[in-house]
Structure 1
Amino acid sequence: MLVHYHDLAPFCSATCKNVRVGSKVLYGLYGVVEHSGSMRGGHYTAYVKVRAPSRKLLEHITGKKNVPGLKEPDSEAASQWVHASDTYVQVVPESRALSAQAYLLFYQRILTIC
């Protein structure tokens, strides 16, 4: 099973900007590429975590407050995993994505906006 979140703070340089001593630098899994077949040929598919837009992040980026029609979703409850191949995209349980035979993993930094 894949690890969902990684704290990379212990591996950051001591001169790393914006990282306080004792703080965490979290990265969350958002993509898994799976290969089926052999070394000579096969097929790749992907599992991707799709999240609802964040009101706080949009306000932070745009500098505007109270963006009309955008509500803050429940953090993890608002995300879902999809499985994508050449001819389809379908919603799948998180457990399926996390138990995939991973060929390549994608992580993104999780920022905390105060």
Structure 2
Amino acid sequence: MNSIIQCLNNTAILVTYFCNGQYLEHVNRSHSTRGAIAEELAAVVRALWSGQYRFIATRDLRLGYISECASEAGDYSHHSLARYALSRNDNWLLSRRWNCPNCKEKRDAVKKLDISRLPPVLVIHFKRFYVDPKEYMCNAYRKKQTYIDFPLEDLDMRQFSLHSPPNHSYNLYAVSNHYGSMEGGHYTAYCKSSVYGKWYKYDDHVVTEIPSSEVKSSAAYILFYTSCSARQT
């Protein structure tokens, strides 16, 4: 959770949203948590940007998050949901056929997604963890260590967009990394400061400056991009 919090804490437009109190206009007080998670996250962001602390503990946020998830998840465990998703995916692959409107014959279907509107902040989640289809009943999780070459600047999203948007270029500002396997691992974050314009490694309470050449690695798990046209103040 610390890794993701650091990535969120370096999302400039989100920091402004929490620090100036704008989030209060959108908190759902009728929810069972009465907006407690939003309040705790806002408190964490404000504390991190106050300059008063070298590091802080996110205990209240963690307990509030776990409490909400535990009350709403019911009996649906991660493993059971994964087995269900895999069984649905196996049924789809690709046995799925459809009637072609042109030739009127049954053809293999191809799933395709297009983005209709690009967001100011783009989050890309790599599918690092998976269950071997031959062993999914045994919860045999595996991790892909594949190195993925992703751009630090000028990520062009036009090829993934339904239309040709004028603002289609993105710059990387944060990476959540995972080291290890499903049996044991560790998360860190690489974030580019919007204040200093430098990259930093966040490893729990230890923060060190790193060169941009170290940002790309096979441990990259979640990428955070911001639109070049988005206001980052």
Does the alignment pair 1:7 with 2:156? yes
User: CA-atom RMSD, angstroms?
Assistant: 2.3
Any conservation in 1 of the 2:167–2:229 contact (CA below 8 Å)? no
Any conservation in 1 of the 2:178–2:185 contact (CA below 8 Å)? yes
Any conservation in 2 of the 1:2–1:99 contact (CA below 8 Å)? no
Q: Which residue of structure 2 aligns with residue 94 of structure 1?
A: 212
Give SS of 1:40's match.
coil
Runs of 5+ in structure 1 lacking a partner? 53-77
Give SS of 1:95's match.
helix
Indicate the structure (1 or 2) with the bigger Cα radius of gyration.
2
Encode CA deviations 1:40-60: one digit per residue, 9 max, x unaligned: 2211000001123xxxxxxxx
Q: Which residue of structure 2 aligns with residue 81 of structure 1?
A: 199
Higher helix share: 2
Does the alignment pair 1:33 with 2:176? yes
Between the two proteins, the alignment pairs up a number of residues equal to 82
Encode CA deviations 1:4-39: one digit per residue, 9 max, x unaligned: 23111333333x7xx4xxx45111111111111211
Poorly superposed stretches of 4+, deviation over 4 Å: none
Encode CA deviations 1:80-107: one digit per residue, 9 max, x unaligned: 1000011211111011113462111111
Higher strand share: 1
Question: Larger relative contact order (C-alpha < 8 A, sep ≥ 6)?
Answer: 1
TM-score normalised to the size of structure 2?
Answer: 0.32
Runs of 5+ in structure 2 lacking a partner? 1-148
For residues 111 and 86 of structure 1, the distance between their equivalents in structure 2, rounded to whole angstroms, comes to: 31
Superposed counterparts of 1:30-69, under 5 Å: 30-52=173-195
Which of the numbers 82, 107, 110 marks the counterpart of 2:228?
110
TM-score normalised to the size of structure 1?
Answer: 0.60
Any conservation in 2 of the 1:32–1:102 contact (CA below 8 Å)? yes
For residues 9 and 102 of structure 1, the distance between their equivalents in structure 2, rounded to whole angstroms, comes to: 23
For residues 171 and 162 of structure 2, the distance between their equivalents in structure 1, rounded to whole angstroms, comes to: 20
Any conservation in 2 of the 1:7–1:27 contact (CA below 8 Å)? yes
For residues 204 and 227 of structure 2, the distance between their equivalents in structure 1, rounded to whole angstroms, comes to: 28
User: Identity of aligned pairs, percent?
Assistant: 35
Give SS of 2:159's match.
helix
* Amino acid corresponding to residue 13 of structure 1 in structure 2: L
